[in-house]
Chains A and B, each alone.
Chain A
């Protein structure tokens, strides 16, 4: 393909020339001129006003939000005794802890049962019960709504190719929109508070459910469906009794993802007045109360791991038969495991109100020791962290930022087109431009470049840390497994959590943001490096060894080339994670798109918020297109 070989170096050269001529370029090539900037925000606002006032959508959303509010009130009453119908709560925390333990036992076994009950005991004795239950009551309501919505839309997309074609790009954008972009329209339609928090959570967590439903339905073996047809099943019977149950595992993995998305969003929804653990954490972080916020952080982490383990265990559980002639006791073991301790818990609760609700003055706290320990640690680390801060700001961050801002926008456009062309020909070049040109036209070029610079620096640092860690981890099977488990756990944490340690270490500044982003972005790099290396076919490694390759030679000539496509997928995820984190971390103080988005949120400017959100999404989608394309092509060429 000669066209493909000749076009991209020309574009690249042109980009370099334009950058070199930076000082003599006319202003119009430097930054998008005023007359080019389109009023996207204004357009979006007009559409919203139209939808809101002329389409009667307001009454529809109001009806839906009233339904959600009713459910929220019920769970709030049961879990922490908000005085609403059915006026039964609060259920004593001991009873809830027992129920959680029984669920853990039912889904997996004693270990999960202990962890599950233990988490709730921790929450209660630490005096965080109300906040945690505020958070959980939203998840308990939002997750089923999301699952039902996702399942329905997944089935629709499966049935109709048109629906799928329409839905697919929407899902792509939806999954790369930062959390805040969802909040602004919801605030406009619903206002702020728990109801808005629940609704934004529902919307945010639907996309993975749609994807997993579609995947599950597609994967059902044709013979199972044919056997259903030959049994005389109607279409409805086929769906409810054959397809959906056979797609159980994928659907439940979707449920797992919904629950984790819900948790991540609920914590962040504190920005729109959602009470609970997130709001408490936000307040404490803003007041720089490190010990107390660490306590909350531990609770959130425990809940994240617990919810993940429980829903995953549910997804992977295989049915098992009871031996014939099993006694009543054996067949109803689960009921006993739940009922007997529950009775005990109620008895305890009747005996002492401590077992109903732990009062603030009865709560334990480890904030003092944490603060003291952190104090010692931070003081010891100050020379290192100070130096690191100085070094990063002076020698990396500021020069990099200046460099990114110094680049004329035409250079960036040409460069991205050249990269696109080199990877996937004309089509990819056009796709790159289609994503980046709207950003240039939106009037947020400088902010976007700052976001891109932060993501670039973070991902480069993440690669520098993650790849060696992955190489080390992949050397032994057991170590690789442990490392992947750690990565799994880290990925379940809501991104907000990562801010606690970095604020402890670096205070509130750019370096803290970068540090949080780097930690968050390193996880996928490690994970995919390990997976890529472990999945190199054993015969290839053996063949390299038998050819007399040393460990290094084997790594460089056999393992890394084969693992590279997978590692690039990791880099892609890393970029996505960085983008999300950069935007979330904006409240610490950055000057990028995230900061503007926070402003849009506080002034409930839907148009501006969505334009910024799309700008972030487009950056992510462009990277995604280029990297996935490269990886897929490479994999195909390697035949893996």
Chain B
């Protein structure tokens, strides 16, 4: 991703194709705000894998021919404070292994993972436990609840590990249960709850210690579609209430588009592209990404801001649209508005540019970006 320092006043020098809305989002973060970053991370399974010399040039085929399996290949990415990165890929693409590398549930074979500037690979066990107790929460695909504990005892478990006394941790756990909408089910055992309810317990547990970093490993994949939708809404509600750095794993592209600030698409252990949803759709970095996004309804992904261009000598008149609105949300207006160029402004009312109506309509009805 380009450094925001290259751009001056977004309204004047915004290069075509890069939106002002995006820029305004970009300008909010800086390098100092990176919470998690990983540098050339490899995870290779096989006996004696630590001794392998792994470089960017090493291919998966080379490894396989020598009896190794590369789950994560040369991944470098960073997640900024308050950002939600969605890692997506098909099953076996290494996304679950990657998130386990970020949490050091598995040790990386090569490369480094930095959390808040510290190399977690170099941490002692005690330091790692301290980090998890203070800063990390994780939600699992099959919930990972302890079958012999009630829901509330499960939620209180991380607090128990921290050594909080019973009354305090149960009070906190009760509050978390209420937050996820499970008030009244505190004393149920996991097997007495439905899948959706179990995952709510899992979410409540992961939030109990108020972590700064929240990992979610395909949290909704084990749920049926209706419940999944409901849980996604619930998740967005929670996300707006708690400001956290989030790494979210999914194999569902729709889910990724719905939730992500940025998406990293993985294939065979490597990240193909890591970008905003708009850019993934409009400027796919590879054939694979393009194939992935081809069936996607562009109108739902592309926001007005992304299409806004500088009005070369033309006047922008009339009521503006907001930069973060998707084309789908603007569909009615796009069809009915008599103007060819519609002004776009940010949420704060700062002008961004003009939206070319005919291009927008074309995208909305299935044209190429």
**Hey, which bits of chain A sit against chain B, CB under 8 A?**
221, 223-224, 226-235, 237, 241-242, 245-246, 248, 318-322, 324
Contacts and interface: CB of A to CB of B under 8 A. Distances in A.
Nearest to B131: A232
A232 B158 contact: yes
Contact of B137 (A230, A320, A322, A324): A230
B129 A246 contact: no
Nearest to B129: A232
B191 interface: yes
Interface string B132-163: 11001110111111111110000001101110
B137 A221 contact: no
Contact of B132 (A231, A235, A246, A318): A231
Nearest to A233: B161
B148 A231 contact: no
A231 B158 contact: yes
Interface residues of B, number: 38
Given A231-B157, A319-B189, A224 B145 contact: yes
Given A224-B146, A232-B158, A322 B187 contact: yes
B188 interface: yes
Contacts of B157: 228, 231, 241
B187 A245 contact: no
A223 B162 contact: no
Question: Nearest 5 pairs between A and B by C-beta?
Answer: A232-B133, A227-B144, A231-B158, A223-B144, A230-B138
Contacts of B189: 318-321
Interface of B: 100, 103, 105, 125, 129-130, 132-133, 136-138, 140-150, 157-158, 160-162, 184, 187-189, 191-192, 202, 205-206, 209, 215
B118 to A, nearest CB: 16
25 contacts: A221-B142, A223-B140, A224-B144, A227-B205, A228-B146, A228-B157, A230-B103, A230-B105, A230-B206, A231-B205, A232-B129, A234-B125, A234-B129, A234-B161, A237-B161, A241-B160, A245-B146, A245-B147, A245-B148, A246-B148, A318-B191, A319-B148, A319-B189, A321-B188, A321-B192
Contact of B187 (A227, A246, A324): A324
A224 B146 CA distance: 7
Contacts of A319: 147-148, 150, 189
A242 B125 CA distance: 18
The dominant DSSP class at the A interface is helix
A229 B147 contact: no
Contacts of B161: 231-234, 237
B187 A321 contact: yes
Contacts of A235: 125
Contacts of B144: 221, 223-224, 226-227
A530 to B, nearest CB: 30
Contacts of B202: 227
Contacts of A221: 142, 144
A230 B132 contact: yes
B148 A232 contact: no
A96 B58 CA distance: 72
Given A223-B141, A241-B146, 16 more contacts: A223-B140, A226-B144, A227-B138, A228-B157, A230-B103, A230-B137, A230-B138, A231-B157, A231-B205, A232-B162, A245-B149, A246-B146, A246-B147, A248-B147, A248-B148, A321-B187
Contacts of A223: 140-144
B220 to A, nearest CB: 15
A242 B209 CA distance: 18
Contacts of B146: 224, 227-228, 241-242, 245-246
Contacts of A226: 100, 105, 138, 140, 144
A321 B187 CA distance: 6
A221 B138 CA distance: 16
A224 B259 CA distance: 26
A326 to B, nearest CB: 10
A223 B206 CA distance: 13
Interface centre among B100, B146, B149 (most CB of A within 10 A): B146
A228 B189 CA distance: 17
B194 to A, nearest CB: 15
A403 B257 CA distance: 80
A321 B215 CA distance: 30
A330 to B, nearest CB: 13
Contacts of B162: 232
A229 B158 contact: no
Nearest to A321: B187
A232 B192 CA distance: 26
A238 to B, nearest CB: 9
Nearest to B206: A230
Given A227-B138, A230-B137, A320 B192 contact: yes
A120 to B, nearest CB: 31
B130 A232 contact: yes
A242 B146 CA distance: 7
A292 B145 CA distance: 54
A182 to B, nearest CB: 35
Contacts of B103: 230
A49 B198 CA distance: 61
Contacts of A224: 144-146
A237 B146 CA distance: 13
A245 B146 CA distance: 8
A619 B116 CA distance: 63
Nearest to B150: A321
B164 to A, nearest CB: 12
B175 to A, nearest CB: 17
Contacts of A233: 129, 161
Contact of B105 (A229, A232, A241, A324): A229
Contacts of B132: 229-232
B258 to A, nearest CB: 24
**Candidate in B103, B147, B192, B202 with the most chain A CB atoms within 10 angstroms:** B147
Contacts of B158: 230-232
Contacts of B130: 232
A232 B129 CA distance: 5
A587 to B, nearest CB: 46
Nearest to A322: B187
Contacts of A227: 138, 140, 144-146, 202, 205
A228 B138 CA distance: 10
A510 B209 CA distance: 72
B95 to A, nearest CB: 15
A233 B157 CA distance: 9
B207 to A, nearest CB: 12
A229 B161 CA distance: 10
- Residue among A224, A228, A230, A233 with max Cβ neighbours from chain B (10 Å): A230
Contacts of A320: 189, 192
